Amino acid sequence: MNTNAYSGMNHETLFQNSIGDYPSIIESIRTKYNIQGHYNESFKTGIHGEKSDVKIAFSCGYNIDVNIKSYKESVAFNQITRTTLAKFCDMFSISPEDQKELEFLITAKAGNVKTLLFPIEKQQKWKAFFEEKSKEILKWGFSYKPSREVLVLYDSSNYIFRIYSMIDVLSKLKRNVSFSRNGNVDIGDCVSFQRKGGNGSLSKNIQKTSIKHPGNNIQLKLKALKFVELMDAAKIGQYELS
């Protein structure tokens, strides 16, 4: 396969158009999920904000939901998901008082990016919250619905797709909580919770320190190279475009 023919395609389309050319990978997926039918097609989904980007369809009616994330080897610190603070607080049952505290911390960081997102005097309190909710937060970030069965990481620097069992990933991810030098929350070895940041070029009429500014959304980011190193046992297979 000539990768030049795929230049400009996003990673979902690239995976959709290439996976069928690797029968050994298809067979590994069939074996992992005990699928009786043969491979039919792959097609893109992901409408209405879903995290499933591609479905792999089999003749028996079994459809594998795939969540695809890409990264560049030189950066390898990529967003898994993002949302507004209000939605995050609603999902994880954060009280109105604590939501106000988070709003203050996030907008304070927006006003001065050199400050810690979670100051030292607040870290013990919020560490307890993230320790209690870490399993749910990781599940939300990687696979917010049980049907999300496969995670695919695309190394766009080397044209490599790595395919993982979602349930194995979620069971193997560590959930210990610590704080980075920027005051962000690290969950295990691979995932970071932080303010999204950015100047919001499409939101020039919203103050940078307003919680409504998109830069003040929250996000989970993945340390992709560390993930690849630690998650080999959860890998179904991989293929390299040539």
Taken in order 202, 208, 213, 217, the sign of the CA dihedral is: positive
* Rounded Cα distance, 12 and 42, in Å: 10
pLDDT of residue 52: 56
Note the pLDDT of residue 5: 47
Q: Distance of CA 12 to CAs 6, 52, 56, 68, 220, Å?
A: 12, 10, 12, 7, 20
pTM: 0.89
Domain that holds residue 220: 3-240
Q: Which pLDDT value is given to residue 143?
A: 83
pLDDT of residue 136: 96
CA–CA distance, 108 with 38 (Å, rounded to integer): 54
Q: Token pair 């749910």 is at which residue?
A: 136
Mark 57-82 as b/e (b = at least 16 C-beta within 10 Å).
ebeeebbbbbbbbbbeeeebeeebbe
Q: Which of the pair, 136 or 49, is modelled with greater confidence? A: 136
What does the pLDDT look like over 70-82, one tens digit per residue?
999 888 899 999 9
Q: CA angle 11-15-16, nearest 5°?
A: 115
Query: ∠ at Cα 186 (180, 188), nearest 5°?
Result: 135
Of residues 64 and 146, the one with the higher pLDDT is 64
Q: Which residues touch 50 (CB under 8 Å, ≥6 apart)?
A: 145
Pick the more confident residue, 67 or 100.
Answer: 100
pLDDT of res. 202: 59
Three-state SS at 116: coil
For the beta sheet containing 191-195, the strands, ordered from the edge strand earlier in sequence to the opposite edge, are: 77-83, 218-223, 191-195, 185-187, 177-179
For the chain, the domain total comes to 1
Residues of the chain with pLDDT > 90, as a percent, come to 79
Written as one string, the DSSP assignment of 52-80 is --EEEEETTS-EEEEEEEEE-TTT-EEEE
